[in-house]
Amino acid sequence: MKRFNCACGQPVFFDNSRCLRCGGHLGFDPERLDIVRINQASGNHWSDADATEFKLCANSVAHGNCNWLVLVYDTDDYCLSCRLNRTIPNLDHPENPRRWRTLESAKRRLVYSLLALGLPVQSKVRGWPLGLAFDFVEDQRSNPDVADAFVLTHHADGVITLNIHEADDVVRVGVRESMNERYRTVLGHFRHESGHYYFQQLVAFAPVVEDFRALFGDERNDYAAALERAYNEGPPPDWGDRYISAYAASHPSEDWAETWAHYLHITDCLETAVAFGLHEPVAGDFAAALTAWSAFSISLNEINRSLGLADAYPFHINEVTADKLQLVHDIIVGSTLPR
């Protein structure tokens, strides 16, 4: 993530909608990938110092849970992130506005990274058949009144379904422990599921799918059988030599999604480290960035241990995973999809 400042000079953050120093209104402009200070012209009509005219995202106006701006002449009242929503939580449930806010905040971080990487972010529910959409749903574990007994977070045909109970720390940590995972966050879910979506966009029907299969394996292998085997037998004992996580060992599609998620973790964290002066800008290619990250993540973990916290990045990047991350990088950089 970049570092942001209000027009008055005060450091501000990605989720801020007010400057605590000058009191000005702030919004995130997804075109410039920057926080801007805005003045109200009339009603929901705002402008910045350059006289660019905006409206606040409709979710900001109605629910106060978004700080992204929409150009005033856009026919859509929702920002680039919120217009991806197909299903939002039932807001009559008293816990759901809070859960939804957590999900939207993480989703905006995902969308920021996708835009910064130059990837297309188009809304399936706004008429783009190959676009992306989100269903935020609950099951009977958090709400006995809904139809679904059990909703798994997953991706299918451009729709990312997230069980909103993942926004509850107690639930999410409980699942993490029961699944013996090292890391489970809402942002991590979004990054992982977006990997499945962009596999369809960038890899599945492109010549590069052969490079993918040479490194990751054949994604056409029986998925249900592979997941059942992983669930019953656990990962192979040497998974740490070939995969970024135990779950990645379950199937080539999951290996891709896990590796994609780590590509986003690594590039975002390095951007943040450089923005805050914790790391020199990395000169050179992606391999140099990966070397820098491997060293930096050790310092990051030590800082967490100094606070009595769990490791921030409890992963080791082996040589095979480094090659897979390099392929993810090459595919993103080489993407010719129109934005």
Q: Both tokens of residue 48?
A: 């910045």
Q: How far is the CB of 108 from Zn ion (least distance, A)?
A: 7
- For 291, counting Cβ atoms within 10 Å of its Cβ (0-12 exposed, 13-18 middle, 19+ buried), the class is middle
> Which of these, 232, 197, 199, lies nearest to 216 by C-alpha position?
199
SS3 state at 325: helix
Task: Pick between residue 4 and residue 296 the one whose CB is nearest to Zn ion.
Answer: 4
Task: Pick between residue 24 and residue 240 the one whose CB is nearest to Zn ion.
Answer: 24
Backbone angles phi, psi at 85, to 5 degrees: -75, 130
Task: Pick between residue 44 and residue 294 the one whose CB is nearest to Zn ion.
Answer: 44
Q: How far is the CB of 260 from Zn ion (least distance, A)?
A: 10
Q: How far is the CB of 306 from Zn ion (least distance, A)?
A: 33
What kind and span of H or E run contains 96?
helix 96-116
Task: Pick between residue 57 and residue 264 the one whose CB is nearest to Zn ion.
Answer: 57
Dihedral through CA 107, CA 326, CA 304, CA 187, nearest 10? Answer: 10
Q: How far is the CB of 307 from Zn ion (least distance, A)?
A: 30
Q: How far is the CB of 215 from Zn ion (least distance, A)?
A: 17
Q: How far is the CB of 316 from Zn ion (least distance, A)?
A: 21
Residues at the contact surface with Zn ion, assessed by CB under 5 A: 6, 8, 10, 19, 21-22, 24, 57, 59, 66, 68, 79, 82, 254, 257
Are residues 4 and 11 in contact, defined by beta-carbon separation less than 8 angstroms? yes
Cα–Cα distance, 95 to 177 (Å, whole number): 23
> Which of these, 246, 241, 296, 301, lies nearest to 266 by C-alpha position?
296
Task: Pick between residue 77 and residue 95 the one whose CB is nearest to Zn ion.
Answer: 77
Q: Both tokens of residue 105?
A: 């905040």
Task: Pick between residue 59 and residue 96 the one whose CB is nearest to Zn ion.
Answer: 59
